């Protein structure tokens, strides 16, 4: 819909005041021009005709023609053409209006004052093309009508421009508020999702650990007590150190080593588990990774690989960091049992890991390759390392990924 300012009582009063003043001003001007004519009939006829013509022109141009041309979606070339056409038509209507007035005055009034007598003679003797080429006619029409429209049309243009600007600012403010509210809801959803995923990971890991300890107790293995102490340390980490989206890499490596050591206790073969992890040095404390993300893939390899293969099972784990590029790479490979195990409840590990990766990183930041082969299962993951001093804005990254045209 075209732009329209609301009609208010104050606006109507301003219009009434302005046009009343305009009527009084033109009346005083015509009094001087028609001073030689006795009586007031001709004076009020000419002034009222001028007033009504000007008021009608203002309403037609200011509220219909100009808004129709300017306030609709059009090309600049089409707008210019329409404006030129409107000017030609309006000038033609004013010419006819002036001609009709002067012929009426000539027919109904005698002994006209010089001001009107000259105009009556000029318009009566003019041919149609004189209205285009005769400057005297054009100047009279301009001075008698068009000049009086300049000020009210300019005032309306300024007021409309100001109102349109305010309206656009309010619309932009509302759009930004809606965008902010949407972003806040997305942020709240992301936080809840990550918290929910962590709550799923912790009990899942705890259940597997208790199964391991139960197996050793059932075998009357003296290492069960050491395993239980190790589990206590690991659970303390999961309970008190994993509340944030990112934790120091050194702490996560200590946790992964403890988990792998606990799994090694279950298996007598020394070659069953091959592990290459960097030492959890002080230098690695400056880097951060998502908590309990990497161990999800390692846990999955033990659960569905080594622990499911009764003879000859193995797991190969390799983790490396590249501080210069700020990246971490994890490779986990395990062999598969010859007979696929019966379906079990769960399967949350890999699904949760995929979901967390999607929430924490954009697709350009990480790479996850999973190969489910007949004889082995391969996981290869590459993620960026976050510096401890770096501000992590999970929502911002997710928003930039969802709206690339707004952020690039």
Both 387 and 282 in one domain: the answer is yes
Question: What CATH number does the domain containing 260 carry?
Answer: 3.30.565.10
Final residue belonging to a domain, choices 112, 133, 154: 133
Q: Is the separation of the CB atoms in 36 and 113 below 8 Å?
A: yes
Final residue belonging to a domain, choices 113, 133, 153: 133
Query: Is residue 374 situated within a structural domain?
Result: yes
Q: Is the separation of the CB atoms in 316 and 274 below 8 Å?
A: yes
Query: Is residue 176 situated within a structural domain?
Result: no
Beta-ladder partners of 315: 273, 334
Q: How much is the pLDDT for 19?
A: 92
- CB atoms under 10 Å from CB of 226, counted, come to 14
- CB atoms under 10 Å from CB of 131, counted, come to 19
Both 385 and 250 in one domain: the answer is yes
Both 239 and 91 in one domain: the answer is no
Both 246 and 361 in one domain: the answer is yes
Q: How much is the pLDDT for 394?
A: 43
**Structural domain range at position 70:** 9-133
Query: Is residue 219 situated within a structural domain?
Result: no
Q: How much is the pLDDT for 361?
A: 87
d(C-alpha 90, C-alpha 60), whole Å: 10
Query: Is residue 289 situated within a structural domain?
Result: yes
Q: How many domains does one find in the chain?
A: 2
Query: Is residue 141 situated within a structural domain?
Result: no
Query: Is residue 47 situated within a structural domain?
Result: yes
Query: Is residue 142 situated within a structural domain?
Result: no
Query: Is residue 271 situated within a structural domain?
Result: yes
Q: Three-state SS across the chain?
A: CCCCCCCCHHHHHHHHHHHHHHHHHHHHHHHHHCCCCCCCHHHHHHHHHHHHHHHHHHHHHHHHHHHHHHCCCCCHHHHHHHHHHHHHHHHHHHHHHHHHHHHHHHHHCCCCCHHHHHHHHHHHHCCCCHHHHCHHHHHHHHHHHHHHHHHHHHHHHHHHHHHHHHHHHHHHHHHHHHHHHHHHHHHHHHHHHHHHHHHHHHHHHHHHHHHHHHHHHHCCCCCHHHHHHHHHHHHHHHHHCCCCCCEEHHHHHHHHHHHHHHHHHHCCCCCCEEEECCCCCHHHHHEEECCCCHHHHHHHHHHHHHCCCCCCCCEEEEEEEECCCCEEEEEEEEECCCCCCCCCCCCHHHHHHHHHHHHHCCCCCCEEEEEECCCEEEEEEEEECEECCCCCCHHHHHHHHHCHHHHC
pLDDT tens for 210-251 read 777 777 787 777 777 777 887 788 777 777 767 777 888 998
Q: Three-state SS across 194-248?
A: HHHHHHHHHHHHHHHHHHHHHHHHHCCCCCHHHHHHHHHHHHHHHHHCCCCCCEE
Final residue belonging to a domain, choices 133, 156, 184: 133
Per-residue pLDDT of the chain (408 residues; tens, 9 = 90+): 556 778 889 889 999 999 999 999 999 999 988 988 888 999 999 999 999 999 999 999 998 998 888 888 889 999 999 999 999 999 999 999 999 999 999 999 988 888 888 888 888 888 888 888 888 888 888 888 888 888 999 998 888 888 888 888 888 888 887 777 666 656 556 565 656 555 554 555 566 667 777 777 877 777 777 778 877 887 777 777 677 778 889 989 998 998 888 778 767 777 889 999 988 777 788 899 988 889 889 988 888 777 777 677 899 999 999 888 889 999 999 988 776 655 544 456 788 788 888 888 888 999 999 998 888 999 999 999 988 766 545 434 444 444 444 344
- CB atoms under 10 Å from CB of 246, counted, come to 21
Both 245 and 381 in one domain: the answer is yes
Both 248 and 366 in one domain: the answer is yes
């Amino acid at each position: 819909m075209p732009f329209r300012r609301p009609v208010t009582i104050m606006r109507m009063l301003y219009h009434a005041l302005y046009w009343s003043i305009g009527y009084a001003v033109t009346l005083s001007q015509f009094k001087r021009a028609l001073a030689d004519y006795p009586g007031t009939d001709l004076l009020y006829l000419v002034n009222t005709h001028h007033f009504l013509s000007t008021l009608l022109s203002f309403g037609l141009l200011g509220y219909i023609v100009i808004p129709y041309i300017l306030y609709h979606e059009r090309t600049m070339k089409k707008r210019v053409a329409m404006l030129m056409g409107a000017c030609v038509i309006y000038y033609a209507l004013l010419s006819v209006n002036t001609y009709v007035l002067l012929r009426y005055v000539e027919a109904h009034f005698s002994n006209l004052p010089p001001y009107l007598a000259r105009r009556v003679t000029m318009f009566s003797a003019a041919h149609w093309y004189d209205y285009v080429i005769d400057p005297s006619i054009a100047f009279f029409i301009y001075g008698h009508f068009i000049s009086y429209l300049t000020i009210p049309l300019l005032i309306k243009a300024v007021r409309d421009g100001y109102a349109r600007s305010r309206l656009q600012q309010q619309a932009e403010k509302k759009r930004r508020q809606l965008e902010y509210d949407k972003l806040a809801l997305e942020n709240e959803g992301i936080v809840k999702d990550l918290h929910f995923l962590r709550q799923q990971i912790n009990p899942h890991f705890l259940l597997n650990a208790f199964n391991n300890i139960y197996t050793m107790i059932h075998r009357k293995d003296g290492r069960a007590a050491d395993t239980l102490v190790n589990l206590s340390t690991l659970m303390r980490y999961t309970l008190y150190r994993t509340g944030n989206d990112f934790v120091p890499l050194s702490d996560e490596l200590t946790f992964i080593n403890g988990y792998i050591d606990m799994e090694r206790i279950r298996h007598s073969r020394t070659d069953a588990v091959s592990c290459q992890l960097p030492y959890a040095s002080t230098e690695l404390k400056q880097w951060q990774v998502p908590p309990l993300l990497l161990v999800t893939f390692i846990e999955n390899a033990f659960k569905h690989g080594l622990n499911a293969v009764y003879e000859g099972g193995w797991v190969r784990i390799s983790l490396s960091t590249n501080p210069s590029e700020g990246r971490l790479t994890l490779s986990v490979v395990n062999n598969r049992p010859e007979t696929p195990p019966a379906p079990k409840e769960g399967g949350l590990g890999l699904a949760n890991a995929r979901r967390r990766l999607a929430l924490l990183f954009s697709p350009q930041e990480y790479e996850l390759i999973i190969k489910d082969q007949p004889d082995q299962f391969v996981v290869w993951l590459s993620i960026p390392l976050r510096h401890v001093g770096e501000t992590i804005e999970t929502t911002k990254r997710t928003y930039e990924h969802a709206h690339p045209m707004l952020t690039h």
